[in-house]
Amino acid sequence: MQHFLDLAGWRSEEIRELLDLARFLRLEFKSGGNKPVLRGQTLAMIFQKPSLRTKVSFETGMNQLGGAALMLGPDEIGLGKRESIGDVARSLSRFVQGIMARVFAHEVVLELAQYASCPIINGLTDSQHPCQALADVLTIQDHLGRVEGRRVVFIGDGNNVAFSLAQAVAHTGGHFAIATPPGYELSEDNIESIAQIASANGSSFEAYQDPVKAVRDADVIYTDTWISMGQEADSARRLQDLAAYQVNTNLLKYANRNAIVMHCLPAHRGQELTDEVMDGSHSVIFDQAENRLHAQKAILVKLLA
């Protein structure tokens, strides 16, 4: 039994196989429909955080593969409050063939995996977002042909999305750079994890404070919200600290002429990026959103079929 919790727990070869599978399943679906390889299988979806893309893509993916999905919100479970995480994992494992969890603390998915007798998928935690990162590198491959040798630059807060993206880029041979204000950098543990993956794939990692220096020769410019769920009380300070890190047409001038712009959504237009960029010719943001479906179907087939 395998879990999908953290990209560091998968070999680079396995990540490349998942990307190949995602492309196959996408082509199969668009050529008439996926084979019902998950018929009779049910995925339980645990949500502590609101969701649009995660809920719809996992539920739709299970349906297209012949299975079913059940959404369980915070009021229905109360992880660690109404019932212990271990007891939830043990109980759900008797009913379903897989569990996807979109939660706050990463320790929750680790504890679910410790006690569950079915695969656990990390749909998002405060420290990691591996499903998004798999869709991201799939999108880069779609538009640029490959990730290997490409310069992928993240601008803004060194958050969970940035960390998982850096791991995914390292797995696929790309060069990752990040520009953050002081105090918003990736942690030393994050950087060590990225470096370990990168060393085996000819990848590299660079950190900057100046966004202009970071995006020079960029093939991909990626940004994310400056205020994630749970950080609302700190909004004023974060908006001030990150104001110089907006992705706009002026910043794009320093990237490669054919660079693509990415965002995992939801976007706060006028903050981390402008309407002109999000709706412009460089944006692949909605292709990226669609690829959540295809990348996650690959994960589901790999773990449940």
> Could you tell me the two tokens for 92?
């759900």
Query: How far, CA to CA in Å, does 79 sit from each of 157, 264, 275?
Result: 28, 26, 38
Beta-bridge partners for 283: 261
Query: How far, CA to CA in Å, does 113 sit from each of 246, 283, 290, 299?
Result: 38, 36, 28, 16
Catalytic residue among 53, 102, 150, 294: 102
Place of tokens 């460089």: 282
Give the Cα-Cα-Cα angle 49, 54, 58 (nearest 5 degrees): 130
Q: Is the dihedral of CA 197, 203, 206, 210 positive or negative?
A: negative
Assess whether 102 carries a catalytic annotation: yes
Catalytic residue among 129, 175, 263, 282: 129
DSSP 79: B
Assess whether 129 carries a catalytic annotation: yes
Report CA 284 to chain centroid distance, whole Å.
15
Assess whether 292 carries a catalytic annotation: yes
Is residue 25 a contact partner of residue 35, using CB atoms and an 8 Å limit?
no
Strands (DSSP E) contained in the chain are 42-47, 68-72, 98-102, 120-124, 151-155, 175-179, 204-208, 220-223, 260-263
Assess whether 264 carries a catalytic annotation: yes
Catalytic residue among 26, 151, 263, 292: 292
DSSP 4: B
Q: How many CB atoms lie within 10 A of CB 181?
A: 18
Catalytic residue among 3, 224, 271, 294: 224
Catalytic residue among 48, 136, 264, 282: 264
Catalytically active residues are 102, 129, 132, 224, 264, 292
